[in-house]
Amino acid sequence: MISLEKGQRPPYVPRVGDLVTDTRLGREGRAMGNEGPYWQLRPLTGGREWEADPKHLRPLLGKQRKPLPPPDVPPCPAAMDPAGAGTTTSSSRSEGDAVHTDVDPADPPKLRRECLVLIRDGHGAVLMVKPKHTGGWHLPGGHAHEGEPSTAAAVRGLKEQTGITRQLSDVLLVDDVPAADEPRSAAGISLVFDGGTLTGNTAVQLPARARDALRGVRWVMAHEVERYTFPPLSRRILTALSCADHGMHVPAYAQGRPAPA
C-alpha cells in the first residue's frame, strides 16, 4: 500500500481508453493497454503508437473517455469538378464498384475474412475460447466461407463455438492482416462485431461438436487479456473494448444494404 504525505495526490493510474498526456514527450494520446510496466499509447492526430512509463502520464482533463473526433472528409470529385456535377456515366462494372484501374475486377486478390464477436458479461469480462491448434485464447467466431456474408459467418462461428445465438449488425473494429509465411496464411481482414452484454440467465458452455477444435471457453477480465492471448490479438481486443465503451461502431452493410445475419 502506498503511503501519502499530507496534501500529496495519489499516482494517476490510466485505464484503457483514457486520453492522456505524456509529460516526458509532450504528446497526447489514447491509452490502449499495458504490456508489463509500460502503457501503449495511440496518438490523437495520427502517426505511430508509442510506449510510455505511467509515471509520466497525466489525464487530459475534460476529455476523459470520449470518442476521437471524426476524420476530415475530403470533398467528393463532383464538388471539386463542377463540370462533372450531377452527371452519371454508364459502366460495365457491377453496382457499387469503385473504379480502381490497378486491380482487375474480374480477377481480384483473394481476401480472407476473420469474423469475430466481442461479448461481455455484466462485470465487463470478455468471452474467449481456446483453440487446440493455436496458442492462446481467442474471441469466438470464424472465417467466412466463399460467398458468405461476414455477419452470417460471425453468427455461425459464435453458435458453433459457444452455443450462443446473437443477431449482429455493428462492427467495432476492422484490422488489416498481412499475409504470413509461418504459419502460412493469405492476406485478409479481421472484423470484430459487437455482441453486446450477456445476461446472467444465458448459459455459456462448450458444445459437444466443438470439442474436437476447442479446449475450453471462459470469461477474461480486460486487464487479464494480455495474459491469455498475444499481440496483435490482445491489442485488437483492447481496442474493440474501448470502441464499445465509447459507442464507436459502424453498421455492417453489403451492397449498400444492412448485411444479412
- The CATH number of residue 37's host domain is 2.30.30
Q: What's the confidence (pLDDT) of residue 4? A: 44
Are residues 160 and 250 part of one domain? yes
d(CA 202, CA 163): 10
At 16 the pLDDT is 78
> Is the CB of residue 235 less than 8 Å from the CB of residue 139?
no
Give the span between the Cα atoms of 173 and 191, in whole angstroms.
Answer: 6
Choose among 31, 194, 220, 206: nearest CA to 136: 220
Residues 135 and 31 in one domain: no
218 belongs to a structural domain:
yes
Q: Are 117 and 47 members of one domain?
A: no
Distance of alpha carbon 28 from the chain centroid: 22
Task: Look up residue 235 and give its three cell numbers.
Answer: 491489442
Query: What does the pLDDT read at residue 202?
Result: 67
Q: Name the strand (E) or helix (H) holding 162.
A: helix 150-162
What are residue 125's phi and psi, to 5 degrees?
A: -75, 150
CATH of the domain at 169: 3.90.79.10
Contacts of 109 (CB under 8 A, 6+ apart): 103, 187
- Residue 204 forms part of a structural domain: yes
Residues 131 and 50 both lie in one domain: no
237's grid cell: 481486443
In terms of residue numbers, what domain contains 33?
19-59
How far apart CA 52 and CA 38 sit, in angstroms, is: 5
Count of domains in the chain? Answer: 2
List average pLDDT for each run of 10 residues in the chain, which is 261 residues long: 51 81 86 75 78 87 49 42 43 44 64 94 91 87 91 94 92 91 81 91 76 89 91 92 92 88 68
